[in-house]
Amino acid sequence: MTMALASSKAFSSIFNTLSPINQSKFVLACSGSNHVDVIDRRRRIMIFGSSLALTSSLLGSNQQRLPMESAIALEQFKEKEEELEEEEERNVNLFQKTSPSVVYIEAIELPKTSSGDILTDEENGKIEGTGSGFVWDKLGHIVTNYHVIAKLATDQFGLQRCKVSLVDAKGTRFSKEGKIVGLDPDNDLAVLKIETEGRELNPVVLGTSNDLRVGQSCFAIGNPYGYENTLTIGVRVVRS
C-alpha cells in the first residue's frame, strides 16, 4: 500500500512536469474503449511508477552513503599525505646533515704562453671536468672517483691542477688545491689532500655496506654537470 501511494505520487509528479502536448499524447496512449486494456494500462502505469519510486529510494540511499565514503577517502588521503610529509622531512634532514661533507672538484688545465711557458694562474685555466667527493677526516683527506682526477694523475707536463671547493664547520665556503695521495684506478677511487689552514672540516658519517639489501633506498649527494649540492634518490639494485 505504501509502495502504491509512493508510486502514485511519483507518477503524478512526472506527469505534471510534461509539456501540454506530451501530456495529451500520454493520455491518448493510455485511453481506450476496452475495459481490460484500460486496467492493463493502469497496471503498467503503476509498475512504471513503482520503478520510479524504487529508483528514487536507491538514489537517496546512495546519497546518504556518499558523505561517509567521502569522509573515509579524505581520511585516507590525509594519512597518505602525512606519510609523504614524513618521508620528505627525512630526506631534507639527511641532505642538510650530509651535504656539508660533500665537496665540488674541478679538473683545471693551466694556460701556456706563446713561448710555451706555463701560467700558474688557475683563474684563467680551462676547466676540463668536474666531479664530487666527500671529506674523509678533519686532516683534509678527500675521497673521490679516479675518473674525476684522471688527467691530473697522468699529467706529464705539469699543466693539470685540481681545485676542491667545500664548506667548513662554520658554513664558510672556501677552495683549495687538491694533491693526489692515493689511487685505485681499478675501483675508480682516489684520495686527495688539501691544506686546512686551521679550518675545522665536516667529515662524512660513515655507514656499513655488508648489511644492505636490494630494494633499499639510496641517496646520492653531489655536483653533476656543474650543479652544486644536488640530491638524487633511487634504490639499490645489485648486491656486491
Q: Which residue has the cell 675508480?
A: 188
Farthest-apart Cα atoms in the chain, separation: 123
Residues 199, 119 share a domain: yes
Distance CA 92, CA 86 (A): 10
Residues 67, 48 share a domain: yes
Q: What H or E segment, with its residue span, contains residue 162?
A: strand 160-167
pLDDT at 101: 95
Residues 71, 17 share a domain: yes
Classify 135 as helix, strand or coil. strand
Q: Distance between alpha carbon 149 and the CA centroid of its chain, in Å?
A: 32
Classify 179 as helix, strand or coil. strand
pTM of the model: 0.61
Residue 237 lies in a domain: no
Q: Smallest Cα–Cα separation from 45: which of 29, 57, 34?
A: 29
Instruction: Identify the domain boundary among 95, 112, 128.
Output: 95
pLDDT in 10s for each residue of the chain, 240 residues:
434 333 444 434 434 444 443 443 333 333 344 444 444 554 554 444 455 444 455 455 555 555 677 777 777 777 777 777 888 888 888 889 999 999 999 999 987 765 666 666 666 778 888 899 999 999 999 999 999 999 999 998 888 999 999 999 999 999 999 999 999 999 999 999 999 999 999 999 988 888 888 888 888 888 777 677 788 888 876 665
Residue 182 lies in a domain: yes
pLDDT at 2: 37
Residue 180 lies in a domain: yes
pLDDT at 22: 43
Q: What H or E segment, with its residue span, contains residue 103?
A: strand 102-109
Cα 165 to Cα 68, 111, 150: the distances in Å are: 58, 21, 18
Residue 61 lies in a domain: yes
Instruction: Identify the domain boundary among 74, 95, 116.
Output: 95
Domain containing residue 28: 2-95
pLDDT at 66: 59
The 3-state secondary structure of 15-49 reads HHHCCHHHHHHHHHHHCCCCHHHHHHHHHHHHHHH
Residues 89, 114 share a domain: no
Name the DSSP class of 117: P
Residue 224 lies in a domain: no
Q: 121 CB contacts (<8 Å, ≥6 apart)?
A: 110, 111
Q: Smallest Cα–Cα separation from 119: which of 161, 162, 153, 156?
A: 161
Residues 68, 107 share a domain: no
Residue 240 lies in a domain: no
Considering its fold, how many domains does the chain have in total?
A: 2
Residue 143 lies in a domain: yes
Residues 125, 74 share a domain: no
pLDDT at 196: 93
Residues 107, 90 share a domain: no
Give me the amino acid identity at 184: D
Residue 152 lies in a domain: yes
Distance CA 128, CA 191 (A): 19
CATH number, domain containing residue 183: 2.40.10.10
Residues 168, 124 share a domain: yes
Residues 108, 53 share a domain: no
134 exposed, middle or buried (CB, 10 Å; 0-12, 13-18, 19+)?
buried
Angle between the N-to-C axes of helices 35-98 and 2-17, in degrees from 0 to 180, rounded to the nearest 10: 90
pLDDT at 203: 96
- Residues facing residue 126 across a β-bridge: 109
**Opening angle at CA 78, ends 74 and 83, nearest 5:** 150
Distance CA 8, CA 226 (A): 79
Residues 132, 71 share a domain: no
pLDDT at 64: 54
Residues 88, 160 share a domain: no
Residues 132, 87 share a domain: no
